[in-house]
Chains A and B, each alone.
Chain A
Amino acid sequence: MTILPILKKLGSLALTLFAASILVFCSMYFVPGNPVSFLLRGRSPSAEAVAAVTAQYGLDKPVPEQYVDWLANVLHGDFGRSFQYREDVSTLIASRAPATIGLVALAGLIIGILGLAAGITAALNQGRAADQAILLASTGLAAIPSFVGAIVLIAFFAVQLGWFPSFGSGNGFLDALYHLVLPALALAATFVALVARVTRTSMLEQLGREHVEVAVSRGIGRGHVIRRHVLRNALGPILTVSGVLVAGLLVASSIVEQSFGLSGIGSLLVQSVDRLDFPVVQAIVLLIVVIFVTMNTVVDLLAPVIDPRSMAGAAAR
């Protein structure tokens, strides 16, 4: 009884990924004309280049067969070769991944700590100065796209004050971390505001619930009530938003990496679009989609842990 909904969700995950992969694969056919000339835009269509591209995508075969071969390769971790770097796309991505993972992880940490703390503080002080200040700050922060955040941080903390580097990724763990401070802040700004707002709203909703009043009426202390009944019950929306957040972070990291000269996956994506390196674009888009959809499914699967009712939905009267 508990396994069926899980299988259903995994099935829908597989279906979505399947459809997404078709979309990503077929995207090169959206442009009218020959896919070979599309793929080789901006490059000399020499006979061997044409032959290489035709072989890579199997363009001499029928389209469904091309897709099946491509998908089989992708499932084996083979995304083809980059036109620009003359390297396997998977190797290229693997070499760029650490920078992005570090950036997203640090930003995630900042978002988790600051966002939750601000949201909880605001909710517990509803209507008072702290709440107003946090609301105002989050309205401002939410409106700062990451490229603006990057520009402002560079202007003040890197150029004017010279506290942090504005370019590159540094050597060694501590130096790398030091180089990531400004990018992570630029990346986190909007999302801190988002998490703070969701946390505040969700906590306030729970604070108004009758079961919280019942708990107070039973003489349970304020700390226990807030932890066990308010925060615990407020987790659902926070978890949901964190699933969406992953996508936002991954996409926005391309802007931040580009601004701070970090060589991660995001900046690779932007450069590949710029240089018409379609195999790399295709691979990164698919990768981000897979991570995003998987994260959302994980969040979905966690929902019954947060709220037992969501599991019983089908079985209840």
Chain B
Amino acid sequence: MSLLEISGLTLDLPSEPSCRLLDGISLNVGAGETVGIVGESGSGKSLTARTVLGLLPGGARTSGSVLLDGTDMLRCPPSVALDRRRDTVSMIFQDPRSGMNPVRRIGDFLTESLRLCEGWSKADADERALELLRSVGLPRPESHLSQYPHELSGGMLQRVMIAGALTAAPALLVCDEPTAALDVTTQAEIINVLRKQQETRGMGMLFITHDLNLAAALCDRVYVIHSGRIVEYGSALSIFTSPRADYTKRLVAATPTIPSVSGRRSSAAASHGRAPSAGSAEPALEARGVSKCYAIRGGADIRAVDDVSFRVPPGGALALVGESGSGKSTLARMLVGLERPDSGDILVDGVSRSTRPRSRAERLKRARAVQIVFQDPYLSLDPRIPAGAAIEDALRLHSTLRGVEARARVLTLLDRVGLTEKHSQSKPRTLSGGQRQRVAIARALAAAPGVLVLDESTSALDVSVQAQVLDLIDEIRRERGLTLVFVSHDLAVVRRVCETTAVMKQGAVVESGATAGLLEHPGHPYTQLLIDSIPKPRRSLHAISQ
């Protein structure tokens, strides 16, 4: 019998009578096996994970069974479910920072279940906590015990969460997107910790993720879930290389990869056959030794951006890639004039823009030169203003179009980003994430800018939506000869759009060059680390058995 056997699980909420949240989910996890559930947001993957621990939303009605080591977690008395959570199954959550009580110490978090539920003495519990912290590779276990969560970084906290989940020596570990809130290099470390613990303890692992690459890299078998149903399951490699269900096919096609793995699909940049020769013409956008410091109260200044220089020719596309804290977003803000560099200069079409604009005309001229699309589509639109009106506002500011003409132009722009007249009346809250991002793009285009900065513009979107928006950006760029600067943490994403890439670390550019070349022959160890950290599907069953 399997360690975990879910059969025919359905779940309804009275608040959403029209749609069934989980619809006939069946899956199993054997002892010592790693099983992935892959799905986009709203697919029901997190809900499935929670049912394994008997955590249901209030008022949920279920049918089917969730057998954990022979106990049906849906029907057993609460005390039995409590016991199973203490000794059989543990869970790791997405965001370690919100997953730990901010007012209690790390030591308290690790030992509370032992002391309160198992009656261990404080000394014994602390000893066990230290042992666990060591095993997940934290540098100073003794001092961590008396620290508060806010004193640790996200990656360290996720290690603490893992240690916390392992206190009870569970037979099954449920991981709900445990690395989604982390940088890619940190993700790689956490995945290693998980893999090592899973192997040494022989635990079963149920790994929930939106990232097909990650699932394929870590899991033996993968279930693909879509709108509350399992659409496909099989070995990780077969799902990735030969998907059968339509949804899986689309998902695989939309998933960004880097060439060293799936290789054959040509990058968007290369297919244009238009690798611009740097320096041949006046650059559309140029940064000359740009630096920016932030003063931190009671500490040394932080060099957010440190002597960065680059040139982007007209119609070119530059990717600025880095992890959090690399200064890439600060640089993006300086490019659009939201902040001014401490030293150095930013030139658009040869015109410096590092000083404060002196007049309304100059401010508008600069706005017409560079526009930006932000990361979060939910926050970057004014909640009160309908999509069409938002675009019309920008048009009125930057053109002489008024009345009927302006509205016609709004519709043209909406049409260009794949939206219709119906959307122009919609308030942002009625639009989906992808639609909002399209509105944001249309609004940026209303000023007819020469340079468009994309600040992580697709990273908040689901994989399939992200692919569509990336395609849209690429089309518009070709049509209008836009110069692009794409700020992102994801090498695989920028590769689709940008032919040159600059890798940033701690405010400085460590390496730059043609994207394809950079990916194939990284010259800097950090670039190499970034590439290595991207999860790659294991190539063969042989690799899995090892």
**A and B touching (Cβ–Cβ under 8 A):** yes
Residues of A within 8 A of B (CB): 1, 209-211, 213-221, 224, 228-229, 232-233, 306-309, 312, 314-317
Q: Do B101 and A215 touch (CB < 8 A)? A: yes
Complex A-B, nearest 7 residue pairs according to Cβ-Cβ distance, in ascending order: A219-B86, A219-B85, A210-B98, A217-B91, A211-B101, A214-B99, A308-B148
A315 to B148 Cα, complex, angstroms: 14
A224 with B116, Cβ < 8 A, contacts A210-B99, A306-B103, A316-B150 known: yes
Known A211-B99, A219-B168, A220-B113: A309·B148 in contact at CB below 8 Å:
yes
Determine the chain B residues whose CB is within 8 A of the CB of A220 once the complex forms: 112-113, 116-117
Whether A218 lies near B103 (C-beta < 8 A) is: no
Q: Which of B102, B151, B297 touches A307 (beta carbons < 8 Å)? A: B102
Residue B53 lies at the interface, judged by CB distance under 8 Å to chain A: yes
Cβ contacts A to B, 8 pairs, < 8 Å: A214-B93, A214-B161, A215-B112, A218-B168, A219-B82, A224-B112, A308-B150, A314-B298
The smallest beta-carbon distance between B51 and chain A, in angstroms, is: 12
| A233-B101 in contact given A217-B53, A315-B298, A316-B150 (Cβ < 8 Å) | yes
Cα distance A219–B114 in the bound complex, in angstroms: 10
B95 interface hit (Cβ, 8 Å):
yes
In the assembled complex, the Cα of A217 lies from the Cα of B95 at a distance in Å of: 15
- Name the CB-closest residue of B to A314: B297
Decide yes or no: A217 and B298 within 8 Å by CB, A210-B99, A232-B103, A308-B150 being known contacts. Answer: no
List residues of chain B with CB within 8 A of the CB of A1. 298
Q: How far is the CA of A213 from the CA of B98 in the complex (A)?
A: 10
Cα of A317 to Cα of B103 in the assembled complex, Å: 18
Report yes or no: A308 in contact with B112, Cβ–Cβ below 8 A. no
CB pair B102–A317 under 8 Å, yes or no, is no
Report whether A210 and B95 are in contact in the complex, using a CB–CB cutoff of 8 Å.
yes
User: B90 contacts the other chain (Cβ, under 8 Å)?
Assistant: yes
With A219-B85, A220-B113, A307-B102 already in contact, the answer to whether A213 and B296 are too (CB < 8 A) is no
In the bound assembly, the distance between CA atoms of A218 and B99 in angstroms comes to 12
Q: Which of B101-135 contact A (CB under 8 A)?
A: 101-104, 112-113, 116-117
Q: How far is the CA of A297 from the CA of B400 in the complex (A)?
A: 56
* Bound Cα distance A315, B91 (Å): 32
Contacts of A306 in B (CB 8 A): 103
Contact between B103 and A213 (Cβ–Cβ < 8 Å)? Answer: no
CB within 8 Å of A: which B71-101 residues: 82-87, 90-91, 93, 95, 98-101
Q: CB within 8 A of A229: which of B82, B101, B167?
A: B101
Which residues of the partner chain A approach B104 to less than 8 Å between Cβ atoms?
228-229
B55 at interface, CB cutoff 8 A: yes
B contact residues, total (Cβ < 8 Å): 35
Chain B residues near A214 (CB, 8 Å)?
A: 91, 93, 99-100, 161
Residues of B contacting A219 in the complex (Cβ-Cβ under 8 angstroms): 82-87, 113, 117, 168
How far does the alpha carbon of A306 sit from the alpha carbon of B299 in the complex, in Å? 26
Contact of A213 among B55, B82, B297, B299 (CB under 8 A): B55
Residues in B with CB closer than 8 Å to A314 are 297-298
Partner of B296 from the list A218, A229, A312, A317 (CB cut-off 8 Å) is A317
Chain B nearest CB: distance from A224 CB in Å? 5
Report the nearest A residue to B101, measured CB to CB.
A211
Which residues from chain A contact B103 at a C-beta distance below 8 Å?
A: 232-233, 306-309
Q: Given A229-B101, A314-B297, are A217 and B85 neighbors across the interface (CB < 8 Å)?
A: yes
Determine the residue in chain B with the shortest Cβ distance to A127.
B58
Q: Name the A residues within 8 Å of B116 (CB-CB).
A: 220-221, 224
> In the assembly, what is the distance between CA of A314 and CA of B295, in Å?
12
Contacts of A317 in B (CB 8 A): 296
Assess whether B164 is interfacial by the CB under 8 Å rule.
yes
Instruction: Please tell me if the beta carbons of A228 and B112 are within 8 angstroms of each other in the complex.
Output: yes
Neighbouring A residues of B86 by C-beta, 8 Å: 218-219
Q: Is the CB of A218 within 8 A of B85?
A: yes
The docked-state distance in angstroms from the alpha carbon of A228 to that of B297 is 33
Q: Which of B101, B112, B151, B164 contacts A312 (CB 8 A)?
A: B151
Q: Is the CB of B90 within 8 A of A210?
A: no
| Chain B residues within 8 Å of A218, by CB | 85-86, 90, 113, 164-165, 167-168
Which residues between 165 and 224 of chain B lie within 8 Å of chain A, taking CB atoms? 165, 167-168
Q: Which residue of B lies closest to A315 (CB)?
A: B298
